[in-house]
Chains A and B, each alone.
Chain A
Amino acid sequence: MESLAGPDLFHLFRRSLVLVCGIYTLIITYRAVSRWLDDGDPNRPGQARIKRYLTAQLLRTRMGTFASDLLQIAFLLVVLFYLITLHP
């Protein structure tokens, strides 16, 4: 689509932003998951034990502690979803 400034730069900016952030998220997630799953290193025998302990610590998390943060995130998600639906 042509405009006063040529091609729609903002449209291009949005697409580029989505692409870059999406790729970055995928890479970071893949690295975190592969690091977590990789416990076969024979030089670090205590790693599996630490991983199990950390898992137990995470499972002992009380959601009530973070209730306000979670509510804020839920509200922001609703707002974002609404804004997206407003787009033509």
Chain B
Amino acid sequence: MSAKMSQNSSQGTHLTASLAQLPLDELKAHAASLGIGFGRDAQHGELLRLIRQRQELLLDLDRQALLDICVWARRPVKKSAGKDALAREIASINKMRFDGLSDPGLSALCRLRELDVSPGAERGSMIRALKKAEPLGKYITRKRRRLMGSLINKLVSAPGSEPDGDKAEYQFLPEDDRSLKRRIEEEGLVGGITRKIKGVADDYVREKLDEIELRIDRKLDEIDARLGEWRDREIRNRLRIVKITLLASIVVAVLSLGYNQVKRLTGTTGAPQEVPVQAATETP
């Protein structure tokens, strides 16, 4: 799990801080960048919960599916980009023509847009769900832009003269695999080293924070389980006390019944009971 998390690192100053320590406005910005929808009055706890949910979703999604979405939308990403970076790009995609998007990509897009689509759903039903989920304002804006684009294209360029960019083969951004020597040569000593060290430090700190949170979650689960056992033990003891009390009451009730029976039998013989009264009256 920690290896997977380290692969999903991305640039950003707020990545070095624990999410729970971020102020509300930064938390909102982080949530918005991940494409999470939240109300205007969303509080710290609610935003943390939503961000955690999105992080768990990203862990569950296939990275190749996320790459497919970015390739389909022709977003500039590196092939080695982490899931967080891909999710940020996908959050800003407004394209609603899904030709060329693979089925896993379409499924991942539905899940990122929080649509209730079953895993093995048909392509047509997923596309219908995505179109139905588009807000009306965005739909109108998109249609208006399409109309303006087609009008201006007719006015400005001749038909067939401008190649459609979507048909050209997509190319990923080049990986930054420059050596330290080349980096210093191009960015200077401090800039070159700083960028390399900062990136490594960001990844390390983020990985460690994730490990710590996982450990805390495990400990909390252990504590919860132990408290559950303690609770069961206490309830069992209380029930045992109730049983002992009832048994004691039954014993006293049986003794009482026995005593009443003996008293009744002694009382039916008659004579023995009168002797003490006569003896008492004879004494002065």
A: residues with CB less than 8 A from B are: 2-4, 10, 14, 17, 57-58, 60-61, 65-66, 69-70, 72-73, 76-77, 79-80, 83-84, 86-88
Contacts and interface: CB of A to CB of B under 8 A. Distances in A.
A59 to B, nearest CB: 11
B245 to A, nearest CB: 9
B11 to A, nearest CB: 38
Contacts of B249: 80
B243 A73 contact: yes
A49 B257 CA distance: 51
B92 interface: no
Interface in B242-257: 242-243, 246-247, 249-250, 252-257
24 contacts: A2-B276, A3-B263, A4-B266, A4-B273, A17-B252, A57-B228, A57-B231, A58-B231, A66-B235, A66-B236, A69-B236, A69-B240, A70-B239, A73-B239, A73-B242, A73-B243, A76-B246, A76-B250, A77-B246, A80-B246, A83-B253, A83-B254, A87-B256, A87-B260
A69 B257 contact: no
Given A4-B276, A57-B227, A80-B246, A65 B239 contact: no
B222 to A, nearest CB: 15
B239 A80 contact: no
A14 B251 CA distance: 12
B45 to A, nearest CB: 14
Contacts of A65: 232
B283 to A, nearest CB: 15
Interface of B: 227-228, 231-232, 235-236, 239-240, 242-243, 246-247, 249-250, 252-257, 259-260, 263, 266, 272-273, 276-277
B258 to A, nearest CB: 10
List of 3 A-B pairs having minimum Cβ-Cβ separation, nearest first: A83-B253, A76-B246, A69-B239
Given A57-B227, A80-B250, 14 more contacts: A3-B273, A60-B228, A61-B231, A65-B232, A70-B239, A73-B239, A73-B242, A73-B246, A76-B243, A77-B246, A80-B253, A87-B256, A87-B257, A87-B260
Contacts of A4: 266, 272-273, 276
Contacts of B272: 4
Nearest to A57: B231
A83 to B, nearest CB: 4
A36 to B, nearest CB: 14
A72 B243 contact: yes
Contacts of A17: 252
Contacts of A69: 236, 239-240, 243
B235 A61 contact: yes
A80 to B, nearest CB: 5
Given A3-B263, A58-B231, A76-B250, A83 B236 contact: no
Contacts of B232: 61, 65
